[in-house]
Structure 1
Amino acid sequence: MTKQGKWEWMSDSPSLLPPCTGAVSYYSQFGRVPGFTSSPSGRRFRAVLDEHLAMLRWPADLKWDKELAVMGEDGQLYHWILPSFFQLLKDLVADGRDFAIVFRTFGSDLPRVLSAVSRALSQGTHPLFPDLPSLKLSVNETPGKIRCSKKSTVLTRAEERLSTHDGERALYQYFSSVQGIGGFQDHFDWWARNAYSILGGKPLWVDPFDQDVQHIFIDDNIRQNDEDTIVHPMVFPDRVSSESRTASTFELYDLCLVQNDLLRAISDPGLKSVCAV
């Protein structure tokens, strides 16, 4: 913002980080603006939107799979799960990685996500990735829940139940032991009650002394502004403590917290670090 209170663009290229010192995002100043790329301020980015929507279109010569493709407002079919996600699975297996993937969403879409991924991996239903069953990855289609309060954080899935009353390390060890692919619905109301700040975000426990497992949280709403970010990272101070401390996003950015670049995830499906749903 200028001294006169006028908004000025410092760059015509979208970026995750400020293009120069002192720059702030349009979103932080004005929030979400419906029809942004049709407004006077956002019209310059219309071509970026159109270009990436075109890349997301479901190929016209492929059969419509109602779990993997979705009808847009324009009547076009689009990929519902980015192809880069399935490419990542193939790359991780090809690299010989020992990994698990846990979807963490505030939304209600988790059952559909798990079902679609399960079918693609077990039945080869994705027309662009028919060889996925050869990866031999299992999917737990039972969605779990994570609920937070001032007193505790509680994780449930089917008969499983863990609470920070049992010690925070118990939840860390639970996620470290996860196999295959699964998912949990996080507590959106808690995030909202904490003014969408780090303290209400999706909890992530990090043990910097663990030489065997690294937990990496990928989310496009991770920001280097603790007043406006979606993950609550908590770091154990030593090898045995059952209590953690809140870490700033800046401490763990690009280490355990990876801000997903959705535009690159769409335009470069082979870029391993930016896949997302």
Structure 2
Amino acid sequence: MDVDNLPMESLKLDKHDLSITTEKLSNGDEYTKVANHNAASRRRKLILHFDNRNTLEVANNVSATTIEQGVNNFLTGVLWGYEKDNGEWEWISTSPSLEKPAHCPHCITYFKYLENQIVKEAIDRKQLRAKTGSFVQNEGSRFRRFYDELIESLRYYELTHPERKREDEILASESQQDQAGEQPSNQSHTVSHENERPRRPSVLHKNLVPVNGYRSRNGTLYHYVLPSFFRLIQYLQDTDRDFVIYLRTMGDDSKNFLLNAQRILSNEHPAFQFHKSLDVNHEPGLISRTPDTIISLRMKFEEDDEMQVLEDEFLIEEKLANAHGIHAIKDDFGAWCRTNYHYTTSKPIWFDPDDRNPATHHILFDDNFRVIHPNDSIVDIRIMDQVRHKCYSCSFDFYPKLENVFAVQANLYLILADRDYYVKSVNECEQNLDRLLEDAQLLKEIKEKSLQNQN
């Protein structure tokens, strides 16, 4: 995929604080070196939160989602249109975009349109996944080329690799054999990426799946956890940053991720070598919300003898900030769903606008984070009011100013095209926080307006 010609938005970087250079290793291989020259931001500990699907992974075994279905699902969330008076859907998008078309203020994503139609309770999301999972094979056929580009970027082996050539030959042969009974044998066929299970199990399933590999139903081998995530960890270690990582999901799909991450962090993957160990906590935590907005965390960290239950948000934030390694937390989907996906019941992260020299910086990456409508966003930026010893949701009016500071709408196109995507994104967020901390008036307005909304 050509990163210079992507139909998606690029990162905005400050050339004075951030330098990006291409250098060579002793063996001649090139690598990208990214340096953040802002000393203030480099002192802060990074509390990095990541959604799973379309942010770190495209598919997983728990939700029975294939890579092909995952790519389809992603596209429905970055293609825009609206429902006409007669109930029919009208497309506005001609290519994927995270941004709502400027000339169509009433537009919504096709994913949101289907979600509004289908999901009334949590169990309905299975039907939603099935509908979005076959998007380009049905009503979204006009967007097939974008699907094909993403599929190619996810393939485990590059086109020039001998294993890739062997795999493609087997896939093409099996595709022809499966279709021989339905079509004349002299017709040509290409490798299929459809969602339907093939008639015969591919012989490729007999092959050992390599570290961070994911073999789809038809035998195609893909990346499991997206490589840009591990590139970020390498960068953080190389620059001697203090950090902790949390997988934030509303499902039960974290354990496979944690197992796979531990193997890669143990230097079992030839493309990623780490010079520092990084502990992986295999026991996911749980965030719950009560109807009266009390947030609780149930979690066991390495230093704990038993499971901890915390209901004070200041203690929760402190516990999360003091940890190290990689952890997983399941957020409260039920609470979010019951409020029609209102941001104030979604995934919480914390920020104290009175602290002009914070020791930590929370950043959450999620493809469902948006600043368009309060009922279409999945990040709850919690204002930490030390005087009142109370936390409350930041007013949504300020979310456009806090985007790419505390929350980032993960861009799967760029994640796949640029392995330094997360490195650049984190640096951008740090620079933007530096600027925010210099704006005393804005910080005051954020706190006052957010407090008013609670009363």
Deviation at 1:230, TM superposition (A): 1.6
Looking at structure 1, the residues matched to 211 and 425 of structure 2 have their Cα atoms a distance apart, in angstroms, of: 22
Deviation at 1:52, TM superposition (A): 0.9
Aligned residues: 268
When normalised by structure 1's length, the TM-score is: 0.86
Does residue 175 (structure 1) correspond to residue 320 (structure 2)? The answer is: yes
Does residue 15 (structure 1) correspond to residue 64 (structure 2)? The answer is: no
Looking at structure 2, the residues matched to 89 and 197 of structure 1 have their Cα atoms a distance apart, in angstroms, of: 32
Instruction: Show the counterpart of 1:266.
Output: 416
Looking at structure 2, the residues matched to 147 and 21 of structure 1 have their Cα atoms a distance apart, in angstroms, of: 39
Change (3 A) 1:53 1:252: same
Does residue 28 (structure 1) correspond to residue 169 (structure 2)? The answer is: no
Looking at structure 2, the residues matched to 220 and 64 of structure 1 have their Cα atoms a distance apart, in angstroms, of: 32
Report the secondary structure of 2:321's partner residue.
Answer: helix
Change (3 A) 1:76 1:69: same
| Cα deviation code 1:65-112 (max 9, x no counterpart) | 466222223321211100111111112222332211111111212122
Does residue 252 (structure 1) correspond to residue 402 (structure 2)? The answer is: yes
Q: With a CA cutoff of 8 Å and minimum separation of 6, indicate the structure with the bigger relative contact order.
A: 2
Following superposition of structure 1 onto structure 2, how do residues 150-165 of structure 1 map, counting pairs within 5 Å?
150-151=291-292, 152-158=294-300, 159-164=306-311
Instruction: Show the counterpart of 1:73.
Output: 217
Instruction: Show the counterpart of 1:98.
Output: 242
Aligned-residue CA RMSD in angstroms?
2.6
Looking at structure 2, the residues matched to 4 and 37 of structure 1 have their Cα atoms a distance apart, in angstroms, of: 25
Structure with greater Cα Rg: 2
Report the secondary structure of 1:101's partner residue.
Answer: strand
Report the secondary structure of 2:218's partner residue.
Answer: coil
The partner residue of 1:236 within 377, 381, 384 is 384
Looking at structure 2, the residues matched to 262 and 84 of structure 1 have their Cα atoms a distance apart, in angstroms, of: 11
Q: Kindly indicate whether the alpha-carbon contact (under 8 Å) linking 2:288 and 2:297 is maintained by their aligned counterparts in 1.
A: yes
| Cα deviation code 1:31-90 (max 9, x no counterpart) | 4543221234x2221111111111111227398446622222332121110011111111
Instruction: Show the counterpart of 2:369.
Output: 222
Give percent identity, aligned residues only: 31
Deviation at 1:128, TM superposition (A): 2.3
Following superposition of structure 1 onto structure 2, how do residues 75-224 of structure 1 map, counting pairs within 5 Å?
75-122=219-266, 124-129=267-272, 131-132=273-274, 134-151=275-292, 152-158=294-300, 159-164=306-311, 167-208=312-353, 209=355, 211-224=358-371
Amino acid at match of 1:135: K
| Cα deviation code 1:200-220 (max 9, x no counterpart) | 211222223252111111111
Q: Kindly indicate whether the alpha-carbon contact (under 8 Å) linking 1:88 and 1:270 is maintained by their aligned counterparts in 2.
A: yes
Deviation at 1:135, TM superposition (A): 3.1
Structure 2 residue runs without a partner (length 5+): 1-81, 116-127, 165-206, 301-305, 427-455
Q: Kindly indicate whether the alpha-carbon contact (under 8 Å) linking 1:198 and 1:230 is maintained by their aligned counterparts in 2.
A: yes
When normalised by structure 2's length, the TM-score is: 0.54
Does residue 52 (structure 1) correspond to residue 150 (structure 2)? The answer is: yes
Change (3 A) 1:162 1:250: farther
